[in-house]
Amino acid sequence: MPFVSIRISGSATKDQKAGIVADVTQSLVERLSKNPAAVQIVIEEVSTENYGAGGQLLVDRDAPKTTPAQEDAHAEPSR
């Protein structure tokens, strides 16, 4: 019985995950002659706040970059 574990950063829709399950199952059927009913697949969604690469969290790496002018525009006015 093949067991496939897939981890993705962030999240995917139900339809996207169903497509992944269908595609991976079909690949194992075609390439290894496995019975599709025996193929077990788990998809684990890992929050980008809980995953780091290159020395930083993905949530920080993928955050929109702001310019100094944008940061100043959001700063509270001094009193």
Cα separation of 19 and 24, whole Å? 8
64 an active-site residue?
no
Residues annotated as part of the active site = 2
